Amino acid sequence: MSDVLSSLRDVADALTNPSQHRTPRHAWPKDRRNRNKIKLDPHVVVLPGLLTQVAALAFPLGVDGEEGASARSVPQSRPPGNPLALAAYLDISIALKRWAAEFGVQGRETSYATLRGVLGAAPAQPYDRQCRLLSDMHEWLSRCEEIAGWVTRDPILTVPCPVCTYRTLHVDLEESTVRCISCGARWAKQESENVGSLSALGRYATKYREEAGSAAAAARAEERRRKAARWGRAPGAEPP
């Protein structure tokens, strides 16, 4: 049980605590004969908590009483704010209120305070509730990290898996592999036992797209022919 509570605290800290990012810096000496780089002090950037970042994207003009992103001076055709961030922030806020009611915690003014109140009441809750709360918080963390740009999801191919026909082919850019999360089939640069070749998968994807494009073109032509027959004019002719 202590492991669950420790994980709850870690996830809550990742959602609420500011994070410090250090970028190494170097410079070349003025003496061109010296080819050794001079190490400078790292560039330090302190970012607010993930919830604050997501809220700033959702509500550019103000976040929990704090100033968010600056307002745009030139009107545009779309409203300010990130709709994905807005949806995530509202989902998390509603879920936090639900957890506060389930744990018997009084409502707080901000999502930060509500999260800390729920976390403070977690040790007195049954183990299964703690696990459900941890599962929800992991989901909140992954959504916030993706919206804030900390992580990037693996691309998904638009063609179905040649083994199970489900469209669940995920690309691992770091390992240069493709894996179907439905049947477990894998493709890599080097073909081996139980691992297909990426070149073969690429040929399959190209052939599938060509056949799908031809089928779609034929379907559109057939639909135009039916409409022309219905209205009594030749296909492609201009309506009267």
Tens-digit pLDDT profile for residues 198-217: 888 889 999 999 999 999 99
Instruction: State residue 239's pLDDT score.
Output: 53
From the number of C-beta atoms within 10 Å of its C-beta (0-12, 13-18, 19+), residue 118 rates as: buried
Nearest to 142 by CA among 5, 16, 11, 46: 11
Q: Would you state the torsion angle of the CA atoms of residues 191, 196, 200, 201, taken in this order, to the nearest 10 degrees?
A: -140
CA 21 to chain centre: 21
pLDDT reading at 75 higher than 90? no
Rounded CA-CA distance 97/114 in Å is 7
Place of tokens 């709709």: 83
Closest of 19, 16, 56, 18 to residue 140, by C-alpha: 16
Percentage of the chain surpassing pLDDT 70?
A: 88
Residue 92: the pLDDT is: 93
The pLDDT value given to residue 72: 46
Q: How confident is the model at residue 27 (pLDDT cuts 50, 70, 90)?
A: confident
- Please name the residue ranges forming H helices in 104-197: 111-121, 127-148
Give 133's pLDDT tier (boundaries 50, 70, 90): very high
pLDDT at residue 95 above 90? Answer: yes
